[in-house]
């Protein structure tokens, strides 16, 4: 018998569970929820109304997610490694934190936060590198009921300030700096810039890591290490886990949409916990003792759900890697697999494609014999990359799970279950129990049957569904629940094949997916337009061999400063400053005008086609105000 009674064991079992989850969802999830630790049981398993964008799971229940991730495992398996940390520099020492140690450190830091007056419901911004203290900070917030908002280290001071202001965060947890490959990123310096416009922040706690010189403002900035010492002298190492309502907000994670302003996706406590755990246990078919390596950054939802909450709630061993796949060389992932005899590797297609480009040399004489499961996430995987992953890493012996999900979904919605349900290259395949996908046409009519394509919606809530967008529930409703009546709209296009398997074909809105990172075209345009001399811009995606999508910007520029290439560099610097280096366009084409309709709407379809190189077939251009501009743009194509 599996340690997890709800772990699906065969295709027939999957079909049975799926059927039950659709026919009797409340009974289904109530039964699964008994596998967690509650302080008080729920009154209702589910209350929902998509038309007002409201969902509640297990309402009335009380719990703390850290008791589920830590305390209960400390009782049964205190010496099991919870987190194994591999540093950026392979010559530095790795670290292992057992469940006992992690529990202790989380309580210590939770007490440090309490010493600074951080309490239930407060928002805490976390901007750190991939070190164990990041996971400790996240869990310490959850311990005392503070709402964490982790911001990826690649975002600029301006982006951080926007997010801190939106959430009115009262505390920031950061590091002096972070290592990434041969670079070191001055995190505290970026925070200092951000905080100039963030009066809500009263406390900054700084963990030392790179030991880069940093400014420390008296009364506001405190060293992590000093705060821990203070807690130690206070004597009592215990920190009571705050009693949280099932629907209390656990965290905010900002993500891009089709408007210029990122939105704070809010997840709640109980539903998110159940979903992260259930999907982790079933998709990866995790077995006790295995080491799970999710290569994502904790600044993204993948890291939240499959480095921290999913694995830890399951008592698993989660490997956390500070560095990048190509440092010190393109064999780094493979070194890590061998060093820790990993069973599970979960990464992004963009990483696979990039490593594929280094050929077979880095793979020579490798021992991958412990690997059992491979996974991908973040973007559609092309067949070539899938085959390479399967042959060179999996040795045709490891199921590959192609996991489709979103920041808003909390955990995986559509994926094969490793070795249990069938895989099909480039297909996410079947929905998890509890997930009811539908395809709809432009008019919102459901497209029935198999061998069809449409826009992907979900017609019934699953426990991990987004609860609101922070501070603006109406935005949540209009973004996700108003495009189609009574459906959650994903923003993805999708195909359902003859066997009823799903294949995600990519975004149908103005959102780009660059190296698995979500970037709104409007956001990039706003940033470009802030550059002096820029009159207008239009940003579209184009196929990129490694990144999946590249960013192509058409820019009307009237400035006279230096030559064209210098201007390009200046614009890139502006985008870096406003959003962060991850949003820098790959190509900038200067144009004298943009193709617009008579009502002034930019015809992105045409710009997309040109960026993709499909200049022969631009479709209907008869509604254009000035068809001549298209010829100019075609000629100047990069």
Q: Compute the distance between CA of residue 26 and CA of residue 48 in angstroms, rounded to an integer.
A: 12
**Residue 380 found at the interface with ligand WT7 (CB under 6 A):** yes
User: At closest approach, how far in Å is the CB of 516 from ligand WT7?
Assistant: 6
Tell which one of 106, 504, 538, 555 touches ligand WT7 (CB under 6 A): 504
**CA 408-581-383 angle, 5° bins:** 60
User: At closest approach, how far in Å is the CB of 443 from ligand WT7?
Assistant: 22
User: At closest approach, how far in Å is the CB of 256 from ligand WT7?
Assistant: 8
Of 428 and 527, CB closest to ligand WT7: 428
Tell which one of 242, 249, 379, 523 touches ligand WT7 (CB under 6 A): 379
Q: Compute the distance between CA of residue 157 and CA of residue 236 in angstroms, rounded to an integer.
A: 37
Tell which one of 145, 262, 299, 378 touches ligand WT7 (CB under 6 A): 378
- Which range in 88-96, 127-135, 372-380, 494-502 contacts ligand WT7 by CB under 6 A? 372-380
Of 59 and 255, CB closest to ligand WT7: 255
**CA 119-57-13 angle, 5° bins:** 130
**Residue 492 found at the interface with ligand WT7 (CB under 6 A):** yes
Q: Compute the distance between CA of residue 354 and CA of residue 357 in angstroms, rounded to an integer.
A: 5
Q: Is the peptide bond between 328 and the residue preceding it cis, with omega within 30 degrees of 0?
A: yes
Counting residues that bind ligand WT7 (by CB under 6 A) gives 23
Of the candidates 574, 568, 583, 582, which has an alpha carbon nearest to the alpha carbon of residue 638?
568
Of 104 and 489, CB closest to ligand WT7: 489
**Residue 507 found at the interface with ligand WT7 (CB under 6 A):** yes
Of 290 and 513, CB closest to ligand WT7: 513
User: At closest approach, how far in Å is the CB of 349 from ligand WT7?
Assistant: 8
- Which range in 170-178, 486-494, 606-614, 617-625 contacts ligand WT7 by CB under 6 A? 486-494
What residues numbered 409-468 form the site for ligand WT7, per CB under 6 A? Answer: 428
Residue count of the chain, please give it: 638
Q: What are phi and psi of 544, to 5 degrees?
A: -125, 130
Contact by Cβ (8 Å): 441, 447:
yes
Q: Which residues contact 198 (CB under 8 A, 6 or more apart)?
A: 161, 164, 165, 169
**Residue 491 found at the interface with ligand WT7 (CB under 6 A):** yes
Of 551 and 603, CB closest to ligand WT7: 551
C-alpha distances (whole Å) from 130 to each of 85, 177, 298 are: 9, 11, 7
Contact by Cβ (8 Å): 317, 287:
no
User: At closest approach, how far in Å is the CB of 452 from ligand WT7?
Assistant: 18
Tell which one of 111, 268, 282, 302 touches ligand WT7 (CB under 6 A): 302
Q: Compute the distance between CA of residue 398 and CA of residue 100 in angstroms, rounded to an integer.
A: 32
Sign of the alpha-carbon dihedral angle for 365, 371, 376, 382: positive
Q: Compute the distance between CA of residue 319 and CA of residue 308 in angstroms, rounded to an integer.
A: 10
Of the candidates 548, 555, 557, which has an alpha carbon nearest to the alpha carbon of residue 525?
555
User: At closest approach, how far in Å is the CB of 222 from ligand WT7?
Assistant: 33
| DSSP secondary structure letter of residue 362 | G
Contact by Cβ (8 Å): 160, 151:
yes
User: At closest approach, how far in Å is the CB of 503 from ligand WT7?
Assistant: 8
User: At closest approach, how far in Å is the CB of 491 from ligand WT7?
Assistant: 6
Of 265 and 420, CB closest to ligand WT7: 265
Residue 100 burial class via C-beta count within 10 angstroms: exposed 0-12, middle 13-18, buried 19 and up: middle
User: At closest approach, how far in Å is the CB of 275 from ligand WT7?
Assistant: 13
Give the strand pairing for 203-207 and 221-223.
parallel
Residue 213 burial class via C-beta count within 10 angstroms: exposed 0-12, middle 13-18, buried 19 and up: exposed
Of 295 and 490, CB closest to ligand WT7: 490
Q: Compute the distance between CA of residue 31 and CA of residue 29 in angstroms, rounded to an integer.
A: 5
Q: What are phi and psi of 15, to 5 degrees?
A: -60, -40
Site string for ligand WT7, 102-141 (x = CB under 6 A): ----------------------------------------
User: At closest approach, how far in Å is the CB of 405 from ligand WT7?
Assistant: 4
Of 36 and 386, CB closest to ligand WT7: 386
Tell which one of 304, 496, 518, 596 touches ligand WT7 (CB under 6 A): 518
**CA 223-124-141 angle, 5° bins:** 85
The number of C-alpha atoms within 13 Å of 2 and in the hemisphere containing its C-beta is 14
Of 59 and 407, CB closest to ligand WT7: 407
Place of tokens 């019934």: 460
Of 186 and 506, CB closest to ligand WT7: 506
Tell which one of 142, 239, 377, 528 touches ligand WT7 (CB under 6 A): 377
What residues numbered 381-420 form the site for ligand WT7, per CB under 6 A? Answer: 402-407
What residues numbered 182-241 form the site for ligand WT7, per CB under 6 A? Answer: none
**Residue 255 found at the interface with ligand WT7 (CB under 6 A):** yes
CB atoms within 10 A of CB 450: 11
User: At closest approach, how far in Å is the CB of 437 from ligand WT7?
Assistant: 13
Chain positions contacting ligand WT7, by CB under 6 A:
255, 301-302, 377-380, 402-407, 428, 490-492, 504, 506-507, 513, 516, 518
């Amino acid at each position: 018998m599996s340690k997890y009674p709800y772990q699906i064991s065969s295709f027939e079992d999957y079909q049975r569970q799926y059927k039950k989850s659709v026919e009797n969802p409340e009974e289904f999830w109530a039964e699964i929820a008994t596998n967690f630790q509650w302080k008080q049981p729920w009154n209702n398993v589910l209350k929902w109304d998509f038309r007002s964008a409201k969902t509640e799971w297990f309402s009335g229940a009380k719990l703390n997610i850290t008791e589920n991730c830590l305390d209960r495992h400390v009782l049964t398996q205190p010496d099991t490694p919870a987190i194994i940390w591999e540093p950026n520099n392979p010559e530095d020492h790795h670290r292992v934190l057992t469940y006992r140690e992690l529990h202790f450190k989380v309580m210590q830091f939770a007490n440090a936060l309490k010493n600074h007056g951080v309490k239930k419901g407060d928002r805490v911004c976390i901007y750190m590198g991939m070190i164990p203290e990041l996971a400790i900070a996240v869990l310490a917030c959850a311990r005392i009921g503070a709402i964490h908002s982790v911001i990826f280290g690649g975002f600029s001071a301006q982006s951080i300030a926007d997010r801190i202001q939106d959430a009115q965060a009262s505390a920031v947890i950061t590091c002096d700096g972070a290592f990434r490959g041969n670079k070191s990123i001055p995190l505290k310096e970026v925070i200092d810039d951000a905080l100039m416009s963030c009066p809500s922040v009263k406390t900054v706690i700084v963990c030392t890591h790179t030991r880069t010189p940093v400014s420390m403002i008296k009364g506001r900035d405190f060293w992590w290490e000093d705060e821990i010492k203070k807690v130690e002298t206070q004597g009592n190492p215990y920190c009571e886990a705050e009693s949280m309502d099932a629907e209390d907000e656990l965290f905010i994670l900002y993500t891009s949409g089709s408007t210029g302003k990122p939105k704070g996706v809010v997840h709640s406590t109980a539903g998110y916990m159940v979903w992260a755990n259930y999907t982790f246990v079933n998709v990866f078919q995790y077995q006790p003792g295995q080491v799970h390596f999710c290569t994502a950054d904790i600044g993204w939802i993948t890291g939240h759900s499959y480095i921290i909450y999913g694995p830890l709630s399951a008592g698993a061993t989660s490997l956390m890697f500070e560095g990048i796949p190509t440092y010190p060389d393109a064999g780094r992932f493979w070194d890590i697999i061998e060093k820790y005899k990993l069973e599970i590797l979960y990464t992004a297609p963009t990483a696979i494609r990039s490593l594929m480009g280094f050929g077979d040399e880095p793979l020579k004489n490798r021992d991958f014999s412990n690997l059992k499961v491979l996974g991908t996430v973040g973007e559609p995987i092309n067949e070539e990359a899938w085959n390479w992953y399967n042959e060179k890493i999996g040795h045709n012996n490891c199921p590959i799970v192609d996991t489709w999900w979103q920041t808003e979904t909390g955990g995986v919605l559509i994926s094969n279950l490793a070795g249990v349900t069938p895989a099909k290259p480039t297909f996410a395949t079947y929905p998890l129990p509890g997930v009811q996908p539908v395809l709809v046409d432009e008019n919102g009519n459901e497209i029935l049957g198999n061998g069809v394509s449409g826009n992907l919606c979900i017609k019934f809530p699953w426990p991990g569904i987004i609860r609101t967008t922070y501070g603006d529930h109406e935005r949540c409703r209009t973004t996700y629940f108003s495009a189609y009546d009574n459906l959650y709209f994903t923003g993805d296009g999708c195909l359902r094949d003859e066997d009823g398997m799903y294949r995600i074909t990519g975004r149908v809105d103005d959102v780009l997916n660059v190296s698995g990172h979500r970037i709104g075209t409007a956001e990039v345009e706003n940033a470009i337009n802030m550059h002096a001399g820029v009159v207008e811009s239009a940003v579209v995606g184009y196929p990129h061999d490694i990144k999946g999508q590249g960013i192509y910007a058409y820019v009307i520029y009237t400035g006279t400063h230096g030559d064209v290439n210098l201007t390009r560099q200046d614009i890139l610097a502006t985008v870096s400053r406003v959003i962060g280096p991850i949003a820098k366009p790959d190509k900038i084409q200067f144009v004298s005008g943009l193709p617009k309709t008579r009502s002034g709407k930019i015809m992105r379809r045409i710009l997309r086609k040109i960026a993709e190189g499909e200049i022969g077939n631009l479709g209907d251009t008869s509604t254009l105000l000035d068809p001549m501009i298209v010829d100019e743009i075609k000629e100047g194509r990069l």
